[in-house]
Structure 1
Amino acid sequence: MVHTLISVIVPTYNEEQNISACLQSLNRQTLPRDSYEIIVVDGGSKDQTREIAAPFADQVFIQTSKKVGGARNDGAMAALGEILATTDADCVLPGDWLERIRDDFAADPAIVQVYGLVYPIEDSLKNRLSLASANLFSRIGYHTRTLYYTLGCNTAFRKEAFMKAGMYRTIDAGDDLEIARRTCKLGKVSLDSRLKVGFSMRRYQQFGTLKSLYQWLYIVVRGGNSEKYSYSQREYKK
Structure 2
Amino acid sequence: MIKEPSWIRKYNFGFQRFEEIPQQIFDSINLKLNKNQVSKPLVTVLIAAWNEEINILKNIASLADQVTDIPFEIIVVDNNSKDNTEKTLGNLNIRTYFQEIQGCGPARQMGMEHAKGKYILLADADCVYPSCWLEEMMKQLIKPGVVCVYGRYSFIAEQGFPRWKLWALEKMKDVIAELRHIKRPYLNAFGISMGYVTDFGLKVGYIMHNTRGDDGRFCFDLMQYGKVRQVKTDKARPWTAPRTLQRDGSFSQALASRLSVETKKLFSLFTAHKPHNTKKSKNE
Whether these two folds match at TM > 0.5 is yes
Determine if contact 1:139/1:191 at 8 Å carries over to the other structure. Answer: no
Which ranges in structure 1 are unaligned for 5 or more consecutive residues?
A: 226-238
SS in 1 for 2:117: coil
Q: Which residue of 1 aligns with 2:184?
A: 146
SS in 2 for 1:185: helix
Q: Which amino acid in 1 is paired with 2:118? A: E
In the alignment, the residues of structure 1 paired with residue 174 and residue 90 of structure 2 have an alpha-carbon distance, to the nearest angstrom, of 33
Of 116, 135, 160 in structure 2, the residue corresponding to residue 80 of structure 1 is: 116
Change (3 A) 1:146 1:204: closer
Aligned length: 216
Determine if contact 2:41/2:116 at 8 Å carries over to the other structure. Answer: no
CA deviations over 1:12-63 (Å, ceiling 9, x no partner): 111123111111000000125x811111111222222122123435212211
Determine if contact 1:169/1:179 at 8 Å carries over to the other structure. Answer: no
1:102 correspondence with 2:138: yes
Of 30, 42, 50 in structure 1, the residue corresponding to residue 86 of structure 2 is: 50
In the alignment, the residues of structure 1 paired with residue 178 and residue 100 of structure 2 have an alpha-carbon distance, to the nearest angstrom, of 35
In the alignment, the residues of structure 2 paired with residue 114 and residue 147 of structure 1 have an alpha-carbon distance, to the nearest angstrom, of 10
Q: Which residue of 2 aligns with 1:202?
A: 243
Q: Which residue of 1 aligns with 2:195?
A: 156
Q: Which shows bigger deviation, 11-20 or 144-153?
A: 144-153
Q: Which residue of 2 aligns with 1:6?
A: 43
CA deviations over 1:73-108 (Å, ceiling 9, x no partner): 1110111111011111111111011112222233x2
Higher relative contact order structure (alpha carbons within 8 Å, sequence separation ≥ 6): 1
CA deviations over 1:145-164 (Å, ceiling 9, x no partner): 33431111100000011122
SS in 2 for 1:182: helix
In the alignment, the residues of structure 2 paired with residue 204 and residue 197 of structure 1 have an alpha-carbon distance, to the nearest angstrom, of 16
Q: Which shows bigger deviation, 159-168 or 67-76?
A: 159-168
In the alignment, the residues of structure 1 paired with residue 102 and residue 243 of structure 2 have an alpha-carbon distance, to the nearest angstrom, of 24
Structure 1 residue 139: deviation in Å?
A: 2.1
Q: Which residue of 2 aligns with 1:39?
A: 75
In the alignment, the residues of structure 2 paired with residue 212 and residue 49 of structure 1 have an alpha-carbon distance, to the nearest angstrom, of 32
In the alignment, the residues of structure 2 paired with residue 196 and residue 82 of structure 1 have an alpha-carbon distance, to the nearest angstrom, of 23
TM-score where L is the length of structure 1: 0.79
Change (3 A) 1:29 1:179: same
SS in 1 for 2:48: strand
Q: Which amino acid in 1 is paired with 2:282? A: G
1:124 correspondence with 2:163: yes
Q: Which residue of 2 aligns with 1:29?
A: 66
Of 68, 89, 113 in structure 1, the residue corresponding to residue 104 of structure 2 is: 68
Q: Which amino acid in 1 is paired with 2:239? A: G
Which ranges in structure 2 are unaligned for 5 or more consecutive residues?
A: 1-39, 263-277
CA deviations over 1:173-221 (Å, ceiling 9, x no partner): 122222222211110100010242113212422552369859x99xx9x
Identity of aligned residues (%): 27
Q: Which shows bigger deviation, 148-157 or 172-181?
A: 172-181
Change (3 A) 1:100 1:141: same
